[in-house]
Amino acid sequence: MKKLFIIYGIYITVNFIYFYFLYPLDSFSDTRYGALSHAFFFTMWPLQLLILFVLIKKTAVIHRLEEKRYKIFLFTSLLVGLDYFSHFPFRVAWYVISKNEGTRTQGFLAWLLESLLSTGLFWISLFVILTGTRFVINRWPLIWGWILWLLLIPIILFVMFVQPIWIDPLFDDFSPIQNGKLKESIIELTTEAGIADSDIFVVNKSEKVSTYNAYVTGIFNHARIVLWDTTIEGMQTSEILFIMAHEIAHYIYQHVYWGNRSVSCIKSIYFIGASKTFTKLEKCLPTTIINKIITNNSHHLNGNTACSAVGITANGNTSRSLCNKTNR
C-alpha cells in the first residue's frame, strides 16, 4: 500500500514538471494557466482508482459495514467522503490559481458551498444506485449484469432530460435571451442547422468567472442553447456566432448521444462479465466505484469544464487550447 502512494507521489511530481516546464503551449501572455489545468486533471484522475484499490484491499472494512444495519448508508458516506477529501486539496489549489489568474471571481465561501451541494447530489445518486444494485442482484442473481445495463439506458436519458430544468438551476440562474440582433442571428443560425425549435437561454456566470463559453444541452423538447453572460458582454456578435456554430455541430452530429452510447457499451461488457463472477453484494460493491469512474467525465476540478478554442481572462490574457475549469 505504501509503495502505491509513493508511486502516486512520483507521478504527481513528474506530471507537474512536464506540464509546467515542458508542455508546448501557444499563449499571448506569459502564463502557464492552460498547461496547469491539464496537470491538475491528470493528477486527480488516478485518485478514484486509488480509492477503488484501497477499498478492495481493505475487505475487513466492507465486511464490518455488512454487519451494520444501515450498511448502504454507511458505505455511500464512506465512498463519497474518501472521494471528496482526496480531491479537496487539489481543488483548493486550483481555486487559488484561477483566482490569481483572474478567471474566477467567486468568493471562497460561495465556491465551498457549491462544492458541498455537488457532493450532496452525488451522495444521493450513489445511494440510489447502491440500493437499486442490491435489489437487482438479490432479485436476479444470475443475470443482474444484463438487468443493470438495460436499466442504465433509460436512466441516462432521464438525467439528460431533467438536467437543464432541475439540476443546473441549483447552481446557476438562467433566463431567456433578450430580443435583439444577437437572438435573431442565433435563430437564423439554428434554423439553417435544422434545430430552430431550441430555446435560447443566458446563464449568469459573471459572478463566478470571467471566462467565455456557450453550449447546447438537453434532449427532446428540453433541448436548449445556453450562452454565458460573460460571452455576450465580452465578445462581438460574429465571435459568439462562431462559438455557437461549433456547439451546434456537436448537437447535429449527436456527440452527446454517441458519448452516452459508448458509456453504455462499456458498462454492458463490465456488468455482464461481472455478473458471471460475483453474486454477493460485498464483492460487487466496488462496481459502483467503477461506475462512477466511467461516468465522472466532466466534473473534475470541482465543476464544469468549459473548453474553447481560445480562452480569455479578465486581465486580457489569452491562451489557445485552453480548458477553463469553472465551478458550476
Q: What pLDDT, on the 0 to 100 scale, is given for residue 19? A: 95
Each residue's pLDDT tens digit, 100-116: 999 999 999 999 999 99
Separation CA 243–CA 238 (nearest Å): 9
Each residue's pLDDT tens digit, 153-199: 788 888 888 889 999 999 999 999 998 999 999 989 888 888 777 78
Q: What pLDDT, on the 0 to 100 scale, is given for residue 9? A: 94
Separation CA 10–CA 327 (nearest Å): 28
Q: What pLDDT, on the 0 to 100 scale, is given for residue 256? A: 65
Q: Is the pLDDT of residue 91 over 50?
A: yes
Q: Is the pLDDT of residue 259 over 60?
A: yes
Rg of the chain over all Cα atoms, to the nearest angstrom: 22
Which 3 state secondary structure label does DSSP give 321?
Answer: coil
- Segment 224-243 shows an average pLDDT of 93
Look at 328 and 169; give whichever has higher pLDDT. Answer: 169
Please give the helix or strand (H or E) that residue 324 lies within, else none: strand 323-326
Going by pLDDT thresholds of 50, 70 and 90, the confidence category of residue 281 is very low
Catalogue the long-range contacts made by 137-142 (C-beta closer than 8 Å, 24 or more residues apart): 137/279, 137/281, 137/284, 138/281, 141/279, 142/275, 142/279
What is the CB neighbour count within 10 angstroms for residue 325? 26
Highest mean pLDDT of the ranges 64-78, 197-211, 273-287: 197-211
Q: Which residues contact 31 (CB under 8 A, 6 or more apart)?
A: 101, 317, 319
